[in-house]
Amino acid sequence: MRHMADRRRSSPSAVAGRVAAVFPTPGRVPGEHRLPGPLEQRAYLIGGRLRAWEGPLREVHSPLRLRSGSSLRRVRLGAYPALSAKESRAALAAARRAYDDGRGAWPTLPVGERIRHVEAFTAAMVARRGEVVRLLMWEVGKSLADATKEFDRTVEYIRGTIDALKDLDRASSRLVIEQGVFAQIRRAPLGVALCMGPFNYPLNETFTTLIPALIMGNTVVFKPPKLGVLLWQPLLESLRDCFPRGVVNTVYGDGATVVGPLMESGGVDVLAFIGTSRVADVLKHQHPRPHRLRSVLGLDAKNPAIVLPDADLGNAVGECLLGALSFNGQRCTALKILFVHRAVADEFVSRLAAAVDALPVGMPWDPGVWITPMAEEAKPAYLRELVDDAVSRGAAVRNAAGGTVLETYFHPAVLYPVAGGMRVWDEEQFGPVIPVVPFAEVSEPLDYVRNSPFGQQISLFGSDPAGMARLIDPLVNQVCRVNLNSQCQRGPDAFPFTGRKDSAEGTLSISDALRVFSIRTLVAAKGSEANKELLSAILQERRSAFLSTDFIL
């Protein structure tokens, strides 16, 4: 595949023209991507029943505008329940009842049967793929290619989780004998998990905690993110039908209203949250017995790239473009600051700016589109502030129309030269602003990483083995993934995904997630003759689901 960085540069007026025409008239929305009409969602799932909400609703508008003459019109997508603390407590109570202190049907169900429930849900989910993908486009502005990828990757993740659990179960289906003590060691559930994903991956990053939590025998309350809520509606009936009553429950509405009471009750055993460290701290502190709370958190990041003088510049520009601008930079793993050696900085910036100028902009369904409107209504104004601040302190916007705002659309801005003291040096922009910092000594970006409050990933671009190795060794103790001549990313999902400092707590990967949502538990007996007979009888007569040498094929 040809890197976007190799495409021909567009003229500044052509870029400005594309930006001005970014929003289509209603007639130009292809039929297959139109929504049938506003989705007025009143249903929420508690205790195996889809209840109809009669209270206030929260309006949902798309970040995509439609042109009508010379004005741009907001598109109303529908509404969803603004539940109160009362319904939120009812959701938690239903999950606690279904768990029943570990005695419920779900936590005691044999692993093979829990897998069958998840498989049934996966099949039902796949049948709603088209609707979910369409809502992903309209609710968060994700391109058709990325929205489809998010859905398919999620299904792959679920299937991978099932396989990983079968492996884990097979490995635990045996007795171990140590110092004359017999034991069977398995992983058991923890209780009720509260799962909350982020708006940039509302489906995928909710399911990457929801599914492992469920399959390990926990019961779940989940709250969709602030954006990307309606896309859950096509899945609600399947969640109700494929799992026993109370195993999956939903809460909708304002986080402070519906999540605060859950945490304050002490009834949440596992907090799975992807969002900001500020909110994570608030939630954790709300729990009355924090030592009882297990947390798995994906938080803030400002992943840097370091481009050394001997880097393959074509590759470095292409990967930095992908890293900084995939889904408009709205990824926790995005490259958010680029350190480029002075010897190649001018050349790098000029090639990067040309590559940005060549990017197709438009609506999520436009073929080959890269840059789409921002998911958050207030984001373009914030990004503009970052650009203005950097420019007022000596940086320049190096690409055509960089930083242009048109309602929810923000055109990417390559800022150069960026230096400490500018807001974009410290702040996580979570959007298409690309700060480029020239450096003379490699100690400069290394100091940046050491002093940063974040510690997720880094990308290194270079070709000299000795030079690269000198950077790898100190950096692996600062961040959790060092990418060589490649952008930062979470995948493949079999790899561990985590971070240091303010970037994460706990590790997620297909297999790690199974561990996060469970605890090692064992049945042990001193190896007396009487105990051996007892163990044999329980095993041979298949008296226990836990103490069992059966395994899943």
Distance CA 19, CA 368 (A): 16
Binding residue for ligand G3H, selected from 30, 130, 491, 496, defined by CB under 6 A: 491
Q: Is 435 helix (H, G, I), strand (E, B) or coil?
A: strand
How many chain residues are in contact with ligand G3H, going by CB under 6 A?
Answer: 9
Distance CA 512, CA 506 (A): 9
Q: Is 191 helix (H, G, I), strand (E, B) or coil?
A: coil
Q: Judged by CB under 6 A, does residue 490 bind ligand G3H?
A: yes
Q: Judged by CB under 6 A, does residue 137 bind ligand G3H?
A: no
The residue behind tokens 């590759």 is 315
Omega within 30 of 0 (cis) for the link into 453:
no
Taking alpha carbons only, the member of 178, 186, 172 closest to residue 527 is 178
Distance CA 296, CA 91 (A): 21
The residue range among 189-197, 287-295, 325-333, 416-424 that interacts with ligand G3H, by the rule CB under 6 A, is 325-333
Distance CA 502, CA 452 (A): 9
We find the least distance from the C-beta atom of residue 177 to ligand G3H, in angstroms, to be 42
Q: What angle do CA 345, 351, 356 make, to 5 degrees?
A: 120
Distance CA 40, CA 279 (A): 29
Nearer to ligand G3H, 324 or 332 (CB): 332
We find the least distance from the C-beta atom of residue 385 to ligand G3H, in angstroms, to be 22
Nearer to ligand G3H, 18 or 336 (CB): 336
The residue behind tokens 């793929």 is 129
We find the least distance from the C-beta atom of residue 453 to ligand G3H, in angstroms, to be 17
We find the least distance from the C-beta atom of residue 149 to ligand G3H, in angstroms, to be 9
We find the least distance from the C-beta atom of residue 200 to ligand G3H, in angstroms, to be 5
User: Contact letters (x/-) for ligand G3H, 183-222, by CB under 6 A?
Assistant: -----------------xx---x-----------------
Distance CA 33, CA 138 (A): 9
Task: Read off the tokens for 519.
Answer: 């605890």
Nearer to ligand G3H, 242 or 301 (CB): 301
Taking alpha carbons only, the member of 429, 107, 417 closest to residue 244 is 107
Contact assessment for residue 64 and residue 407, using Cβ atoms and an 8 Å cutoff: no
Q: Judged by CB under 6 A, does residue 328 bind ligand G3H?
A: no
Q: Which 49-108 positions form the footprint of ligand G3H (CB under 6 A)?
A: none
- 248-250 and 409-410 beta bridge pairing: unpaired
Nearer to ligand G3H, 153 or 186 (CB): 153
Amino acid letter for position 320: C
Task: Read off the tokens for 310.
Answer: 């001997």
Helices (H), 21-58: none
Q: Is 419 helix (H, G, I), strand (E, B) or coil?
A: coil
Binding residue for ligand G3H, selected from 218, 249, 328, 333, defined by CB under 6 A: 333
We find the least distance from the C-beta atom of residue 489 to ligand G3H, in angstroms, to be 4
Residue 24's Cα: distance from chain center in Å? 29
We find the least distance from the C-beta atom of residue 146 to ligand G3H, in angstroms, to be 9
Nearer to ligand G3H, 206 or 404 (CB): 206
We find the least distance from the C-beta atom of residue 41 to ligand G3H, in angstroms, to be 25
Q: Judged by CB under 6 A, does residue 331 bind ligand G3H?
A: yes
We find the least distance from the C-beta atom of residue 31 to ligand G3H, in angstroms, to be 30
Q: How many CB atoms lie within 10 A of CB 189?
A: 26
Distance CA 239, CA 235 (A): 6
User: Contact letters (x/-) for ligand G3H, 389-408, by CB under 6 A?
Assistant: --------------------
Nearer to ligand G3H, 45 or 301 (CB): 301
Q: How many CB atoms lie within 10 A of CB 215?
A: 23
We find the least distance from the C-beta atom of residue 215 to ligand G3H, in angstroms, to be 20
Q: Judged by CB under 6 A, does residue 332 bind ligand G3H?
A: yes
Nearer to ligand G3H, 18 or 490 (CB): 490
Residues 6+ apart with CB under 8 A from 546: 184, 186, 188, 521, 523
Distance CA 461, CA 468 (A): 8
Taking alpha carbons only, the member of 371, 320, 310 closest to residue 146 is 371
Q: What is the DSSP letter of 24?
A: P
Nearer to ligand G3H, 200 or 249 (CB): 200
The residue range among 214-222, 302-310, 399-407, 489-497 that interacts with ligand G3H, by the rule CB under 6 A, is 489-497
Q: Judged by CB under 6 A, does residue 489 bind ligand G3H?
A: yes
Nearer to ligand G3H, 257 or 276 (CB): 276
Nearer to ligand G3H, 62 or 328 (CB): 328
Q: Judged by CB under 6 A, does residue 302 bind ligand G3H?
A: no
We find the least distance from the C-beta atom of residue 204 to ligand G3H, in angstroms, to be 8
We find the least distance from the C-beta atom of residue 352 to ligand G3H, in angstroms, to be 20
- The residues with which 297 forms a beta bridge, in sequence order, are 273, 505
We find the least distance from the C-beta atom of residue 479 to ligand G3H, in angstroms, to be 14
Task: Read off the tokens for 419.
Answer: 């230096």
The residue range among 8-16, 55-63, 264-272, 329-337 that interacts with ligand G3H, by the rule CB under 6 A, is 329-337
Nearer to ligand G3H, 341 or 481 (CB): 481
Strand order in the sheet with 335-341: 396-397, 413-416, 433-439, 335-341, 303-307, 457-461, 481-484
Nearer to ligand G3H, 357 or 502 (CB): 502
We find the least distance from the C-beta atom of residue 293 to ligand G3H, in angstroms, to be 22
The residue range among 9-17, 158-166, 331-339, 512-520 that interacts with ligand G3H, by the rule CB under 6 A, is 331-339
User: Contact letters (x/-) for ligand G3H, 450-479, by CB under 6 A?
Assistant: ------------------------------
Task: Read off the tokens for 53.
Answer: 């909400």
Footprint on this chain of ligand G3H (rule: CB under 6 A): 200-201, 205, 331-333, 489-491
